[in-house]
Amino acid sequence: MNLLKIIKNNLFIQNLVGSIVSFIPPYLEFSVAKYQAIKKALFITAHDETLGSYLEFGVFTGSSFNFAIKANKRIEKIFGKANCEFIGFDSFQGFGKIKEEDKNPRFKSHIFSVNEEKILKNINKCAKGQKMRIIKGFYQDTIKNKTTSDLNIDKARVVMIDCDLKESTNLALEFIKPSIQEGTIILFDDYVFFKGNTEKGEYGAFSDFRKKYPEILFRKVFDYGYGSQAYIAYKIN
């Protein structure tokens, strides 16, 4: 008896599986998918010797930032030391003032305001001597009208864009532009929101960036989570 026939004759199986999957909180699935995406990006870049820093815009509770450090340690056992510095950017006080075009029922400043001291203590604990730094403050103050060279960052290996809003993403992309090399992977964690509007959110910001800098060619390498996407810079003219 094949699997399809078993399922057809035993409907409790599909009911059980459906109940289990529906019970898993979406945010947990989202986090696990993000972990897998970071691990994939670190593996791909290590495989091709795309050396540089891991940059994360939107550290929040430090979950994915800490995971990136842990995953890289494992990957280095396969490919050797990469001398990767992990650099996180966040205000830890939410978004600050949100523009009208960036307003979304789930992206509220107070939701993303966290206990900075507790989170930084945990990040330092997880880093355990790993080359790491956190750039604290609103992007308007820390990266606007600046580039990676201003903060002694050479090349980007993997970039996690978890900015949610178009304005924040615009600032992050402009900031990292000089550090993008062939092989840099950029992860867009909230790529599908704002009801799919192509002019809003992370999608709108990346679209504008690609039009402004057509000399940097990207292609999608994989999807992850609930509408998140990863792109690789495959050619810089």
DSSP state of 56: E
Dist CA 161 CA 184 (whole Å): 13
pLDDT of residue 9: 83
Q: How many residues does the chain have?
A: 237
pLDDT of residue 232: 98
How, if at all, do strands 185-188 and 228-236 pair? antiparallel
* Fold adopted by 25-236: Rossmann fold (3.40.50)
pLDDT of residue 111: 87
In the predicted model, residues of the chain with pLDDT beneath 70 are 1
Residue 97 exposed, middle or buried by CB count within 10 Å (0-12, 13-18, 19+): exposed
Backbone angles phi, psi at 104, to 5 degrees: -145, 140
pLDDT of residue 5: 83
pLDDT of residue 6: 82
pLDDT of residue 1: 56
Of 174, 195, 92, 178, the closest CA to residue 138 belongs to: 92
pLDDT of residue 11: 86
Q: What's the pTM value of the predicted model, to 2 decimals?
A: 0.93
Dist CA 56 CA 61 (whole Å): 12
